[in-house]
Amino acid sequence: MDASTLQEAAAALLSAYETGKPIAPLIETYPAATLEDAYRIQQRLVRHWAERGDEVRGHKVGLASAAMQRQMGVDQPDYGHLTASMFHLEHQPIPIGGFLQPRIEPEIAFVLGSRLRGPGITVADALRAVDFVVPALEIVDSRIQDWKISIVDTIADNASSGGVVLGSRPTAIGDIDLRLVGCVLHQNGEIAATGAGGAVLGSPVNALVWLANTVGPLGVALEPGHVVLPGSMTRAIPVSPGDTVVATMAGLGSVTAKFSGEERP
C-alpha cells in the first residue's frame, strides 16, 4: 500500500471511531494489504491521537491465547497501543456508548519499573523490569463490522483496543507464579468464563518478552510506568448496558468493571 492508500484506510477507521459506525473489513477493501501495512495504519491512528493530546501509556498483546486465536480466526499474536483516554476507574460507570461492539476479557497487567527495549530481551530481563502486577479487565472493541476481522484488520485497528480497567491491589511478580494463576470471570453474578495465566503463550511473561522484542526493532521502547496487557486468560465475552463484570484471580485479587447505559453522544 502506498502512503495515500494507507492514509485512506486510517481515515476510514478514524471515521468509525467518531461516528460509531463500523466499516467493512479492510482486507476486503484492500486485499493486498500486508501485516507491515496494517502496523503502518495503526501508527497513523496513534499519531492522530497524540496530536490531539492523548498520550501513549502502554501497550497490549492481543490474540495471545489459543482460545482467542480460535475465536478470532487468526494464528499469531499482535500488539496495539494503550492511550491515557482508554483507562477507566474500577467500580465507576463506563459509558458503553463510547464503544461500537464491546467485549471484555481478563488479563494480568504488568506495570513496568524500568525500560525494556528489544531485540534480545530475555525472560530474566523482563522480570527485572516489572515493578508489580495487578488484575485487569480489557475492553476490546472493533471498528470492523460484525467483528469480521483478519489479522490485518485487527492490527490496523490498534489490535482491537477499547479500554482498560486496572485493579488496585499490586503484587510483586516474584511473589506469584503467573502461569498458575486461575481466573473466574463473572458477568452479572454468573460465571461467564474461566482460565489461567498459562493460557497466555505459556506464561504472561512470555508475552511481555515477545512484545519488547517485536517493537524494539521499530524504535519503540516499553517505558517505566507503562502498563502492558499480555493477553486474555479466557475467551472474550460481549457486554451490554448495565452489566457488571468481575474478574477474580487467585493470589492477585479482583477487578470490577461497570457499564452504564449512556449512549454515544
Q: What is the pLDDT of residue 67?
A: 65
Identify the H or E element spanning 164. strand 161-166
Q: Is residue 140 part of a domain?
A: yes
Q: Is residue 105 part of a domain?
A: yes
Q: Quickly count: other Cβ atoms within 10 Å of residue 248's Cβ.
A: 17
Instruction: Supply the range of the domain harboring residue 116.
Output: 3-260
Q: Strand order in 182-187's β-sheet?
A: 93-95, 253-260, 244-249, 182-187, 190-196
pTM to 2 decimal places: 0.94
Q: Is residue 147 part of a domain?
A: yes
Give the position of cell 468509525. Answer: 16
Q: What cell does 11 get?
A: 481515515
Angstrom distance (rounded) from CA 184 to CA 192: 8
| Confidence check: pLDDT of 265 > 70 | no
Q: Is residue 168 part of a domain?
A: yes
Angstrom distance (rounded) from CA 39 to CA 168: 32
Q: Is residue 190 part of a domain?
A: yes
Angstrom distance (rounded) from CA 257 to CA 103: 12
Q: Is residue 78 part of a domain?
A: yes
Percentage of residues of the chain with pLDDT beyond 70: 96
Q: What is the pLDDT of residue 3?
A: 96
Q: Is residue 149 part of a domain?
A: yes
Angstrom distance (rounded) from CA 1 to CA 104: 32
Mean pLDDT of 7-17: 98
3-state secondary structure of 84: helix
| Confidence check: pLDDT of 114 > 90 | yes
3-state secondary structure of 167: coil
Angstrom distance (rounded) from CA 241 to CA 96: 6
- Taking only the tens place, the pLDDT of each residue in 120-179 is 999 999 999 999 999 999 999 999 999 998 889 999 999 999 999 999 999 999 999 999
Q: What is the CATH number of the domain that holds 238?
A: 3.90.850.10
How many domains does the structure of the chain reveal? 1
Could you tell me the pLDDT band of residue 92, with boundaries at 50, 70 and 90? very high
- Taking only the tens place, the pLDDT of each residue in 39-48 is 999 999 999 9
Q: Is residue 265 part of a domain?
A: no
Identify the H or E element spanning 146. none
Angstrom distance (rounded) from CA 184 to CA 195: 7
- Taking only the tens place, the pLDDT of each residue in 61-91 is 988 877 667 766 667 789 999 999 999 999 9
- Taking only the tens place, the pLDDT of each residue in 230-258 is 999 999 999 999 999 999 999 999 999 99
Nearest residue to 214 (alpha-carbon basis) of 159, 140, 148, 133: 159
Q: What is the pLDDT of residue 63?
A: 81
